[in-house]
Amino acid sequence: AQKITQTQPGMFVQEKEAVTLDCTYDTSDPSYGLFWYKQPSSGEMIFLIYQGSYDQQNATEGRYSLNFQKARKSANLVISASQLGDSAMYFCAMREGSGNTGKLIFGQGTTLQVKP
Amino acid sequence: ETGVTQSPTHLIKTRGQQVTLRCSSQSGHNTVSWYQQALGQGPQFIFQYYREEENGRGNFPPRFSGLQFPNYSSELNVNALELDDSALYLCASSLGAGGYTGELFFGEGSRLTVL
């Protein structure tokens, strides 16, 4: 069973508009962390935002916010005011447990294209 | 602050050969993780090194091995290369203790093609 599911292989958004990238997860561990990474064509994975399972509020980082719905096991990324430079592959990932292990479980990714 | 650097960026090998990929972790980070990313897929965890010891391994065969050095740089070695080993290999560094998110900082990867 997939632990991280990203159901949108590709998304288009008009420049300056907002877009939501979907992510659902599956874990029986009460302690976990959820991450979003951006991967441009260069290959580097760029950290965007983090949400801990015990965090009461949704995480925000500049134009990025994470819509965390624990009961639904979803952690959607919202990008506001899209820019051309946002065009990239986006990955949702999960770390299980409370330790700072380097093991993340990644989804299949969503390709985002921002139209001018 | 120096980021994560990987070498080589691209390389081509033939089936049965051996390859060594290198990674310099971000300054101050003592944990290195390696990931394999096949084309069009998400990265898959290979293993992690913390203070020069393997400290967690994914579902990869023993021909995938690694090292971490006292300066926290790392190597990934793959023996008896197979066609399916063709992928982008990503190295990520992090703090093994402390830090709230323990976020991983990735390099740009080494793209391996096996012919």
- As a whole number of angstroms, the distance between CA A36 and CA B21 comes to 26
Q: What is the structure's pLDDT at A100? A: 62
pLDDT in tens, chain B (115 residues): 568 999 999 999 999 999 999 999 888 788 899 999 999 999 999 999 888 888 889 999 999 999 999 988 999 999 999 999 999 999 999 876 544 456 788 999 999 999 9
Contact list, A35 vs chain B (CB under 8 Å): 103-104
Q: Which residues of A touch B92 (CB under 8 A)?
A: 45, 102
Strands (E), chain B: 5-7, 10-13, 19-24, 31-37, 44-50, 53-57, 64-68, 74-78, 87-94, 105-106, 110-114
- Nearest CB among B40, B90, B99 relative to A100 is that of B99
CB–CB contact A109 B33 (8 Å)? no
pLDDT at B99: 43
Chain B interface test: which of A51, A103, A108 (most B C-beta within 10 Å):
A103
Model pLDDT for residues A76-116, shown as the tens digit of each residue: 999 999 999 999 999 999 998 766 677 899 999 999 999 99
Supply the mean pLDDT for chain A: 93
**Per-residue pLDDT reduced to its tens digit, B53-83:** 888 899 999 999 999 999 889 999 999 999 9
